[in-house]
Structure 1
Amino acid sequence: MTRYIGGRLLQALMVLWGAYTTAYLILYLLPGDPLSIMLNASGVDVDSLSPADLARARSFYGLDRGMLAQYFTRLWAALHGDFGNSLNANVSVWSLISARLPQTLALGGLAIAFSLIFGIGFAWVASYVTWLPLKSVLNRLPSLGFSIPIFWLGLVLIEIFAFRLGWFPSTGNDGFASLVLPAATLSVPSMAVYAQVLIRGLNETWREPFIATAWAKGLTRAEIQRRHVFRNAILPVLTLVGMQIGHTVSGAVIIETLFARAGVGRLVQESVLRQDIPVVLAVVVLSATVFVVINLSIDLLYSLLDPRVARAPRVT
């Protein structure tokens, strides 16, 4: 077990390093000069500055050194939790992120809750139904959920529930009501994945030999599903939760832009357009850390629920 945990921790560190390095290389290779973009965004006319002024500004922001020198300097600082200042806002990167993080956490948390509650609930109903035509429709419906583009789904929900019915606001960060539509939009792909995997697991478990024993004991269909079928089919969903949280984090960029929410996702979009490298790197590391920690926790929980996972030999 100790070896298993150590291996998973090493993999987690490698994932974090890989995420940071990949993001840095992509940002460094983007066309354009970060200093010019930053100055133009701040209302400074770059053409009016002398070469000496530009050189001093480039030196001040550490942009006068080579790619590798900047990489190792930023990586060493990042290991100490220091991502520097935003090139555009000229304030601490963490102050920008901390100001917007609560909105993104609220959105992501509600989306995850929606996806688990409705995804598992839908799978429960689809497995419990015995009328074959309805059962067939319910079993195929989740595939529609993750094939719909979330930006299109968001526009449809805004049109119906905001513009036509007026039940929820279409944009903004004004209270819980403004969270419902973006969270519902963000939850649909994960909800569909949970439902599809769990439906398959429930249907397969219903065909196991021990179910006949449960019937022989006089248990009702609801009792069998609750006591035996659901417990055996839920384990694969635990692994999916960690994976889908990563999709939720990445989907927040689209959803917060679509619903004009001032969260971390929208901050990433703005920072990429302005080539604000420190902000993007910090958000990438933060997102990767959340993703890695949650997946690591789920892996460890899975090994406790099924000890064969920790004892399984590694394939070399």
Structure 2
Amino acid sequence: MTPGSRTESGRLALGSRRVSRWLLSRLAGSVFVLWAVATLTFFAIRLIPGDPAEAVLGGPGSQASEETLEQVRRDYGLDQPLVAQYLQSLGRLATGDLGSSYALKVPVGELLAAQLGGTILLAVVALALAWLIAIGLSLWSTTGGRVAASVGQGIELTSAALPHFWLATVLIAVFSTQLGWFPPVSTGDLRGLILPVVTLALPLSGFLAQVMRGTLLDTLDSPFILSARARGEGEIGIRLRHALRHAAIPGISLSGWALGYLISGAVVVETIFARPGLGRTLLQAVTLRDVPVVTGVVIVVAVVYILMTVVTDAASRLADPRLRLEETR
């Protein structure tokens, strides 16, 4: 074996060890996040006034007898100490058992599987639209002079501060009631998806544009940009080929958080637009004190957030060669 081959083998072995450590740290962090989410959800849902046994029987209006309530408590383990209920809940979650819905009497896994697709579609399309708006706004505000910079900054601040419920109400009033372009509630087709997507995307786009604009301005003063200008490359090519990629790195790193933000916003949006999904399911479950459904929704959202964080971390390394260089040292 030549010295060069030994050196290359050593680099590959070092790279494999670094990837293994990265995966192990991600796995340990994911387990901790899921445990923390399950724990906080378990105790928080029990702070809601009411008896879980009544939720099993259909709510306070069921007028169930005390004997029936006692039987339900025994059947569901609600008569045991809180710590014992907590440990049993963790044990079920560790095996992938989310339990059955108190209100609907169906497995939580099946219920969430039927609702997950709609929420993920809504969040992913909204994230894509938010990125398109943020890229366009940041490019325009950094190339259009002082007026464009001032107007763009105002648009970014205003968009980032818009509450979802207020924006949804305005969009329905303008584009549904007055203009009649889009339906005010979900219809299951593309037209029924547009207003919910815009409602979620606009506030996020303002935040992403703020992050990208600041990074883009710093990147345009970097030495490699000055070198590109010295080679005679045009300003459009510099921004699209060089500066934009570096400016997008902070936004890419925040995309995992952004997806979680969009899913949490879906609670409001899906309720206002009567759109089926995890957000609307979560709101109904909290109202009915349906503990297994609430826990299941939160766990699923946490898993989606973890997966998205891993993907965005990998995308950041692909977009930024400096991160890959640090890993090989």
Length-normalised TM-score, structure 2: 0.88
Shift of 1:74: 1.6
Shift of 1:128: 2.5
Verify the 8 A CA contact 1:34 1:274 in the aligned structure 2: no
Instruction: Look up the equivalent residue of 1:207 and give its one-letter code.
Output: D
Q: Which residue of 1 aligns with 2:5?
A: none
1:92 equivalenced with 2:107 (yes/no): yes
Q: Distance in 2 between matches of 1:21 and 1:309?
A: 36
Residue in structure 2 matching 1:142, options 156, 160, 171: 156
Shift of 1:157: 0.4
Q: Distance in 2 between matches of 1:308 and 1:106?
A: 31
RCO comparison, higher one (Cα < 8 Å, 6+)? 1
Verify the 8 A CA contact 1:115 1:191 in the aligned structure 2: yes
Q: Which residue of 1 aligns with 2:15?
A: none
Residue in structure 1 matching 2:276, options 244, 247, 262: 262
Q: Which residue of 1 aligns with 2:303?
A: 289
Instruction: Look up the equivalent residue of 1:96 and give its one-letter code.
Output: L
Which secondary structure does the structure 2 equivalent of 1:29 belong to? Answer: coil
For the structure 1 residues 227 and 54, does the alpha-carbon distance in structure 2 shift closer, same or farther, using more than 3 Å as the test? closer
Verify the 8 A CA contact 1:146 1:193 in the aligned structure 2: yes
Shift of 1:303: 4.0
- Superposed CA deviations along residues 193-224 of structure 1, whole A, max 9, x for unmatched, are 11111111111111223333222222111111
Q: Which residue of 1 aligns with 2:45?
A: 27
Q: Distance in 2 between matches of 1:79 and 1:40?
A: 28
Instruction: Look up the equivalent residue of 2:202 and give its one-letter code.
Output: V
Shift of 1:63: 1.5
1:122 equivalenced with 2:137 (yes/no): yes
- Aligned pair count reads 308
RMSD: 1.9
Q: Which residue of 2 aligns with 1:220?
A: 234
1:113 equivalenced with 2:137 (yes/no): no
Instruction: Look up the equivalent residue of 1:107 and give its one-letter code.
Output: L
Shift of 1:103: 1.8
Percent of residue pairs bearing the same amino acid type: 33
Which secondary structure does the structure 1 equivalent of 2:46 belong to? Answer: helix
Verify the 8 A CA contact 2:140 2:148 in the aligned structure 1: no
Q: Distance in 1 between matches of 2:128 and 2:213?
A: 19
Question: How is 1:13-92 mapped onto 2 (pairs within 5 angstroms)?
Answer: 13-41=31-59, 44-46=62-64, 49=65, 51-92=66-107
Verify the 8 A CA contact 1:173 1:262 in the aligned structure 2: no
Which secondary structure does the structure 1 equivalent of 2:62 belong to? Answer: coil
Verify the 8 A CA contact 2:54 2:60 in the aligned structure 1: no
Shift of 1:308: 4.1
Q: Distance in 1 between matches of 2:323 and 2:40?
A: 34
Verify the 8 A CA contact 1:111 1:186 in the aligned structure 2: yes
Shift of 1:110: 1.6
Q: Distance in 1 between matches of 2:279 and 2:245?
A: 36
Question: How is 1:110-259 mapped onto 2 (pairs within 5 angstroms)?
Answer: 110-129=125-144, 131-259=145-273
Verify the 8 A CA contact 1:161 1:168 in the aligned structure 2: yes
Instruction: Look up the equivalent residue of 2:79 and give its one-letter code.
Output: D
Structure 1 gaps of 5+ residues are none
Q: Which residue of 1 aligns with 2:14?
A: none
Q: Distance in 1 between matches of 2:247 and 2:257?
A: 18
Q: Distance in 1 between matches of 2:268 and 2:197?
A: 12
Instruction: Look up the equivalent residue of 1:141 and give its one-letter code.
Output: I
Instruction: Look up the equivalent residue of 1:257 and give its one-letter code.
Output: T
Verify the 8 A CA contact 1:97 1:264 in the aligned structure 2: yes
Shift of 1:295: 0.7
